[in-house]
Amino acid sequence: MFLDGLDGLDQKIVRLLIQNARMSYSDIGQQVGISRVAVKARIQALEQKGIIEEYTTVINPQKISGAVSCYFEIETLPETFSQVTETLRDNETVTQIYRVTGNSRLHVHAVAASSEELETFIRDVMDPLPGVTSCSCSMILSRVKDIKGLRL
C-alpha cells in the first residue's frame, strides 16, 4: 500500500531494511536475488530520492534508570508560533515536535534524565514560552506499542 510507487525489487529491499537496517548489502542481495553492488546502488538511489531518510539507533528512555519521558500539548498565539517552535527545537530535552490539528497546535515529546531535570525544563523553558495560551503535560508510564517509521 505505502510502497506502491516503488518497483517490486525496491519494495523487497525496503521491507528488509525496515526489519533490520543493519542488514548487509550481500545478505539483502541473497534474499532478493541480485548482486551486492546492485543492492547498494538501489539503496543509494532510495536515499537520494528521500525515500530512506536515515538509519538510527532507538534508545528506550524508560530502560535508563530515572529517565522521564513525557508529551506536551501546546496552544500558542499565531504570532508567537515560530518563536515557540524555534526555542523548543534548540533544546536538547525536546526529542520531537509535531504541528498538529485539533485543540493544540504543537505536540512535543521530551525526555529528561530525572524528574528534577524535567521540573527544571518546565520552569526554565516551558513556562516562559511567549504567547502560550494552553499547555498540558502527560508523563509516559509504559510503552504499549511504539512503531518507528513506516510499517508494512
How many other CB atoms sit within 10 Å of the CB of residue 50?
7
Q: Which domains does the chain have, with CATH numbers?
A: 8-48 (1.10.10.10), 61-139 (3.30.70.920)
Q: Report which of 5, 1, 48, 33 is spatially closest to residue 13, judged by C-alpha positions.
A: 33
Q: Are 72 and 118 in contact (CB under 8 A)?
A: no
What are 81-121's pLDDT values in tens digits? Answer: 999 999 999 999 999 999 999 777 899 999 998 899 999 99
What are 112-139's pLDDT values in tens digits? Answer: 988 999 999 999 999 999 999 999 999 9
